[in-house]
Each structure stands twice: as C-alpha cells, then as structure tokens.
Amino acid sequence: MKQSTSPSPPALGRVHQGDCVEVLARVPTGSVHLAFADPPFNIGYDYDTYDDRRTTDDYLDWSRRWLAEIVRVLRPDGTFWLAIGDEYAAELKVSVTRELGLTCRSWVVWYYTFGVNCRQKFSRSHAHLFHFVRDPKQFTFNVDAIRVPSARELVYADKRANSAGRLPDDTWILRPQDLAEGFKADGDTWYFPRVCGTFKERSGWHGCQMPEQLLGRIIRASSHEGDTVLDPFAGSGTTLAVAKKLRRRFLGCELSAAYAARIRDRLSAIRAGQRLDGAPEPLKSVPATAKGRRLH
C-alpha cells in the first residue's frame, strides 16, 4: 500500500506565490520567531487579484483562519505584529487575544501625513500596530536596538542627554516637523514617513508600500540575527527586504503572481547588511541653529 506524503514545507529565503492560508498550512509548527502581517483592510482597495470588498462575516472568518495559522507556526517565545485599520482593529485584537490566546504587549498608533483622502469623512492618516507575544514572560524585545533620541538632545541640545537615547512609546508619527510643538521626540510617537510617490524608495508598482525604517524597528526589537521572520501578505516585499538586510531568515506569501515576481526582483538586488532605505531619525539630521536648537 502506497503511503501518502505530506507537502514539503515552503523554503526559507523567498516569497511563495499563493493563498496565505494554504502556504502557512505547510509551515512547520513552532518554527517562526517573528511574524508581521499587514493584511488587506477590507475597505475596497483595488488590488490586482484580491477582492477587498468582502462581507464582514466573510472577512472575519477568513481572518480567523490565517490568524490561527500564524499562532500555530510561532515558536513558544515567538512574536506577532499586526497592522490593521480602524474598521476591524477591535475584532482582530479580540480574535488574537481571547480566541487564540496571545498577549498584547503594545497597541501602537502609527500616524502619518500624506494620508489617504476620503470622501465625507476625515482623511485616513493612521493605522494600528498590535504587538502580540505567545508567552508574556518569555519573548524577544531588544531594548538597545530601538532606542530613539530624547527631547533633551533634539529640542534643547543638552549635553547631559544620554547619547544612547530612550525607548519609543506607543504612538509613532511620520513627520514630527509638522507637529514640532505637539509631539516631542521622547513622547508616545513613532516617526516614519509613509512611502509616497516622490520618495526614492517607492517601488512604483504597489500602492501600500510600508517604510523600511518602520519594519526595521519591529524586526530589530522582536528578533535576532538568524531568526526566521514571516510575512503572510508580502505585498511590495518590504518585510522580506528588511529581514534580509538585517540578516534574518525570511519567508513570505503573496497571492498575486505579478507582485510575487516583483518581490523576487527586489530581493535579488539586496545584500545582507545593506542599509535600510529612509532616515532612522530624520530630526537628528536637521542642522542646528546658532542658539544650539534644531530647526523643525
């Protein structure tokens, strides 16, 4: 009698084209150190193959299926970051914590200028970044890898400022120079520019490209060199590109064959150790005034 063989696990170091639930089902249980997911928000975005206009019940049912696979493949000390919009943030947080048993360590609000123009509502200028861990007592969080300059250093040019900086808080702003008086460098804000059409790092073929520096902070904080980073919605390939630059092993899923091909091209042009695109702390590069304070 011929024995059935299970599908081989997807190879690391590449993006796999196909449905993420099917690809994730082949990933070994407990093998992933860090997963980052930026799924479709179900707001009617025009993807080339995916239908972003599901009914609420269908979208949530599908989300529970891929979320369950994410939790299954995480190591006991693994971490999961989820980027999501307002519409389903509450439901997905409940699914991950109450139904799937992860612990939410941080609920980050990522604010950006160049927001999405909306009709008959305020323009969309933020997303939610949920930081989940499997074990609240055993997980990776590399404090020294993600420190930011303090207000004492940036605003007041105080020589007593700790050159190592401080930890970021849980609201991240993309252009603090636009809100210099409202947000300080040591407040609860993250600064990463949304990748707009005029930016050098813009791929030009995907409308929802994430900034490399944002993924850099997440990957540096929640993994070590050599760890495995998973992205089930590879999109423009930023998570995989940053993981490669930061010397992590990586695995991606992408439904669109056209996007997957572009991601492969992007990855082939990257080498391990290469600098991330964008400025990690743009305000530090602004020239100081004669009085020692920095211009905004």
Per-residue pLDDT of the chain (296 residues; tens, 9 = 90+): 455 556 789 999 999 999 999 999 999 999 999 999 999 999 888 888 899 999 999 999 999 999 999 999 999 999 999 999 999 999 999 999 999 999 999 999 888 765 566 677 777 778 899 999 999 999 999 999 988 776 665 655 656 666 667 787 787 765 555 455 554 444 444 555 554 444 455 455 445 668 898 999 999 999 999 999 999 999 999 999 999 999 999 999 999 999 999 999 999 999 999 999 886 654 554 444 444 444 33
Q: Which two tokens stand for residue 237?
A: 């390939």
- The pLDDT value given to residue 292: 44
Domain 31-283 of CATH type 3.40.50.150:
yes
Residue with tokens 């509450």: 90
> Of 131, 127, 138, which is closest to residue 105 (Cα–Cα)?
131
Residue with tokens 């992590």: 248
Residue ranges per structural domain of the chain: 31-283
Greatest CA separation for the chain: 84
Strand pairing report for 74-84 and 124-133: antiparallel
Helices (H) and strands (E) in the chain, counts: 7, 8
- The alpha carbon dihedral of 99, 10, 58, 48 has a sign of positive
- The pLDDT value given to residue 160: 66
Q: How far is CA 176 from the centre of its chain?
A: 20
DSSP state of 190: -
Cβ(204)–Cβ(181) under 8 Å? Answer: no
- The pLDDT value given to residue 171: 78
How far CA 246 is from CA of 1, 37, 172, 242, in Å, comes to 48, 18, 21, 6
Distance, CA of 256 to CA of 40 (rounded, Å)? 13
pTM attached to this predicted model: 0.82
